[in-house]
A and B are shown apart, each in its own frame.
Chain A
């Protein structure tokens, strides 16, 4: 594509101060790996923080270093794209607990050995603490916007609720303010698959030459189904067989969907740390902004969690997303409305299920560009 090229900066930041976590523990020596696109204006008023989802990372619009594939939101972020890097300074950090450079269970503990299960259990708010520390280190006091889908959307909401004066705009796509039981259930299936793999070894598999790839693969296969929709599976795979003319009467991947899922599980295991998966999904299942507000001394009403923010909100859901269904986004929008926050909410029609936010949905492009344009 002609036009200005995207400037990508890949950096690693070491925090000077330990992070005080929701669990009461403190985590010292935290490193944050992030990418930045575009340039920060002299007034520092054009910074957009992107927060990635469960299996994402900081490689938003640059090729992934392991898979070589384009960044996960390459279609959304870049010069002239809805999140226009000729206008905005776009920052995306690998979450705390992740495995792409930010401190997580695979990072060395003070004794030099990987934390493994000694890594403290973290929350979404802890992830945001790390994001806020990064912004402070970069000298950014205000965000033009915080943008995220799924777990990224939750981080945006947590930022608005807990650091109400940082973000001027919050765009939450396919997210929720409270993790519902069905999602906790699926996440538990994933974790149990990992922990049932003998190669998991109580989490201390680093340096053993073995990783719980099979368990992590199964976790990814199950999760991947929840990101899609029945109609998109039928459309893409139907009952078609994989490179064969008849069923084998065995347990090979006879069907295309089986082969596809196995491939998804396998490639995920090659790029993702199983313990990170445990910690990140745990953080998500703990996420409940209304409950957090109660523990802060508030009334436990979701609306009260947003009482102090002046941000504008845009909440987007997809009609085919059964994992984070529209009702979650609608409830969030009503709570924001009750809090007096300027909020827009729209349910977009797209066939791809929860993953719609990552895929070709032109209406989403217009909403994102429109919301950020004003």
Chain B
């Protein structure tokens, strides 16, 4: 799994072998392929872009073209062991409802997102006075797909408010894992495992 993005590699490493997995916003199927081939998972995907879906089909993956905001409703309750939402939460119209859907469909959910509370983002806003453009948030405000920026602390607040259990969390700076200490300040990237 060398080629996997660091957050995807972490997710792949913590999915139990042989389980049923739904990757929401699966892109070109890189994670699904790894889960299928290395973890023997029954790995399915949902993806909004037709070229990406075609790429997934060409890899022999089972991927449905759909919009996580609307089409997750068609999946039965608890039909997957894991539902995965990587780097997608901040692009959703209603991230809170999508999270509820993930935990309705899956017994556990993996959620990864770029942390808007990272010190570089804060400095950029504090001193630059402009919406930050960083390595993980490379697109200017007017054309970014990220319509709901959030910080690690924001996410933790939401989990508490909704009674969602955080089973595990990892934090990344650069491409390396860091400790949970002051993660809201130090982490560029957060990965949570959620459950009920």
The interface of chain A, by Cβ under 8 A from chain B, is 312, 314, 330, 333-334, 337-338, 340, 342-349, 363, 366-367, 369-371, 373-374
Bound-state Cα–Cα, A224 to B42, Å: 42
Q: B58 contacts A367, CB within 8 Å?
A: yes
B141 within 8 A of A: no
Return the contact of B62 from the options A344, A363, A366 (Cβ within 8 A).
Answer: A344
| CB of B56 to closest CB in A, whole Å | 7
Pairs A-B, 8 closest by C-beta atoms: A374-B60, A370-B58, A334-B74, A342-B62, A346-B53, A345-B64, A344-B57, A370-B57
**Which residues of the other chain, B, contact A340 by a CB distance below 8 angstroms?**
79
Chain B 136-164 interface 0/1 with A at a Cβ cutoff of 8 Å (1 = within): 00000000000000000000000000000
> How many residues belonging to B are interface residues under a CB distance threshold of 8 Å?
22
- Residue numbers in B under 8 Å from A347 (CB-CB): 50, 65
Q: How far is the CA of A346 from the CA of B60 in the complex (A)?
A: 13
A207 to B77, CA, bound (A): 62
Residues of chain A within 8 A (CB-CB) of B75 are 337-338
Closest Cβ neighbor of B56 among chain A residues: A344
| Cα-based distance from A348 to B44 in the complex (angstroms) | 20
How far is the CB of A154 from the nearest CB of chain B, in Å? 20
Contact residues in B for A343 (Cβ distance below 8 Å): 62, 64
Query: Of residues 13 to 27 in B, which have CB atoms within 8 Å of A's CB atoms?
Result: none
A368's nearest neighbour on chain B, judged by CB, is B57
Establish whether residues A333 and B64, one from each chain, have CB atoms under 8 Å apart when the complex forms. yes
Contact: B53 with A337, CB < 8 Å?
Answer: no
CB 8 Å contact bits of B37-56 with A (1 = contact, 0 = none): 00000101000001101101
Q: Is B111 an interface residue (CB 8 A)?
A: no
CB pair B66 A330 closer than 8 Å: yes
Interchain CB contact under 8 A, B57 and A338: no
Which of B50, B60, B66 is close to A370, meaning CB atoms less than 8 Å apart?
B60
A370 and B74 form a contact (CB under 8 A): no
* B54 near A346: Cβ-Cβ < 8 Å: yes
Q: How long is the Cα–Cα vector from A343 to B170 in the complex, in angstroms?
A: 32
A sample of 7 inter-chain contacts (CB < 8 A) reads: A334-B64, A338-B75, A342-B62, A343-B62, A346-B65, A369-B58, A373-B60
Residue of A nearest to B58 (CB): A370
A315 shortest CB reach to chain B, Å: 9
Partner of B76, one of A312, A333, A338, A363: A338
Query: Does B102 interact with chain A (Cβ within 8 Å)?
Result: no
Interface contacts beyond A363-B50, A373-B58: sample of 4 additional A-B pairs, CB < 8 Å, sorted by A: A338-B75, A340-B79, A344-B53, A367-B57
- What's the Cα separation between A338 and B80 when bound, in Å? 12
- Does B191 belong to the interface (CB within 8 Å)? no
Contacts of B54 in A (CB 8 A): 346, 348, 363, 366-367, 370
Please give, as numbers and ranges, the residues of chain B lying within 8 Å of A314 by CB-CB distance: 57
A residues within 8 A CB of B79? 340
Contact yes or no, A349 B58, CB < 8 A: no
Q: State A346–B51 Cα separation when bound (angstroms).
A: 9
Once the chains bind, are B62 and A312 in contact (CB under 8 Å)? yes
Complex interface residues of chain B between 58 and 82 (CB less than 8 A to chain A): 58-66, 71, 74-76, 79
**Judging by beta carbons under 8 Å apart, are B65 and A345 in contact?**
yes
User: B68 to chain A: closest CB distance in Å?
Assistant: 14
| Cβ–Cβ < 8 Å partners of A344 in chain B | 53, 56-57, 61-64
A370 lies within 8 A of B53 (CB): no
The answer to whether A342 touches B58, judged by C-beta atoms less than 8 angstroms apart, is no
Cβ of B62: which chain A residues have Cβ within 8 Å of it?
Answer: 312, 342-344
The answer for the CA separation of A294 and B50 in the assembled complex, in Å, is 34
For B75, the closest partner residue in chain A by CB is A337
Q: When A342-B44, A347-B50 are in contact, do A337 and B59 touch as well, CB less than 8 Å?
A: no
Check B64–A349 contact: CB distance below 8 A: no
**Interface positions of B from 92 to 128, Cβ below 8 Å from A:** none
Which residue on A lies nearest to B53, using beta carbons? Answer: A346
Considering the complex, give the chain A residue whose CB is closest to the CB of B76: A338
A348 to B53, CA, bound (A): 10
Distance between A106 CB and nearest chain B CB, rounded to angstroms: 40
Q: Closest residue of chain A to B49, judged by CB?
A: A346
* Bound-complex Cα distance A337 to B61 (A): 14
CA distance A345 to B60 in the complex (A): 12
The residue in chain B whose Cβ has the minimal distance to the Cβ of A348 is: B50
Tell me the minimal C-beta distance from A237 to chain B in angstroms: 28
**Shortest Cβ distance from residue B134 to the other chain A in the assembled complex, whole angstroms:** 33
State how many angstroms separate the Cβ of B58 from the closest Cβ of chain A: 3
Residues on B with beta carbons closer than 8 Å to the beta carbon of A338: 74-76
Whether A370 contacts B59 by the Cβ 8 Å rule is yes
Inter-chain contacts of A337 with B (CB < 8 A): 44, 64, 74-75
With A330-B66, A344-B62 already in contact, the answer to whether A363 and B51 are too (CB < 8 A) is yes
Segment 167-191 of B: residues with Cβ below 8 Å from A: none
Closest to B43 in A: A342
Most central of B42, B57, B61, B75 by chain A CB within 10 Å? B57
Residues on A with C-beta less than 8 A from B44 are 337, 342
**Highest count of chain B CB atoms <10 Å: which of A312, A346, A363, A374:** A346
Q: Which residues of A contact B66 (CB under 8 A)?
A: 330, 345
